Amino acid sequence: MQGSTEPRTTISGTNLHSQGALMTARCFPIVALAVVLAVTACRNDPPPPPAPVGPSAAELERARQDSIGRVRTRQDSATAARDRAARAENDRLAAAQRELRTSLEALVHFDYDEADITSDAERALREKVDILRGNPDVRMRLVGHADERGSTEYNLALGSRRAEAVKQFFTGFGLDAGRFDTTSRGEEVPLVNRSDEDAWAQNRRAEFAITAGGAELRPPR
């Protein structure tokens, strides 16, 4: 018994060509549609934002003027601060000068009918010594006074002894005697014009006058 043979289907070259053409024809509209959609989508994209606009010339000028103003304000503040510091330093130096001069010119007083240096007078004179040591160019006049009791001649002599006692105190601490002149006014120039114990106590004194070197006093070291 002969076996049966399945029928074979033979595709000729002509059929293959026809099938390829059919597939191409079917795909072309799809590709074309995709291209159209892509182009349409590109056309529908939003436009790019506009470029930022820079500051105007007027704005730039205002900014420049503001910057200059800030610099000037800082400079003015710095100048004012320097001026304040300079004034403060000048005031400090002037106050120190006044204090030194006041110390040098401060009176010392004596007991009745005495030319000895009292303990209170010694403290004041020691302060003067310190200043005079730091200011070797200073020259002074020492003026002795007395109260009204006693004769004119006696009081002149007493005033002279008091001035000399002060000078000897200074030279005892090594100060040059040539820096000091002494004189006496006796009772002629009272500090207080009264005739009582308080007035007499104030009139028994030695006065100090700077005669040279007092323009720029230096504080003692």
Q: How confident is residue 40, by pLDDT bands cut at 50, 70 and 90?
A: low
Report the alpha-carbon distance of residue 214 to residue 72 in Å, rounded. 42
pLDDT at 51: 75
Question: What is the CATH number that goes with domain 98-212?
Answer: 3.30.1330.60
SS3 of residue 41 by DSSP: helix
Report the alpha-carbon distance of residue 114 to residue 107 in Å, rounded. 16
Give the strand order in the sheet containing 205-212: 108-109, 205-212, 139-145, 180-186
CA angle at 166 for the pair 161 and 172, rounded to the nearest 5°: 120
pLDDT at 2: 47
Tokens of 135: 């200011």
pLDDT at 16: 45
Q: Which of these, 182, 188, 187, lies nearest to 207 by C-alpha position?
A: 182
Looking at 13-107, which runs of residues are DSSP E strands? none
140 and 180 Cβ atoms separated by less than 8 Å = yes
pLDDT in tens, 111-142: 999 999 999 999 999 999 999 999 999 999 99
Q: pTM for the complete prediction?
A: 0.65
Maximum average pLDDT range among 3-17, 53-67, 75-89, 164-178? 164-178
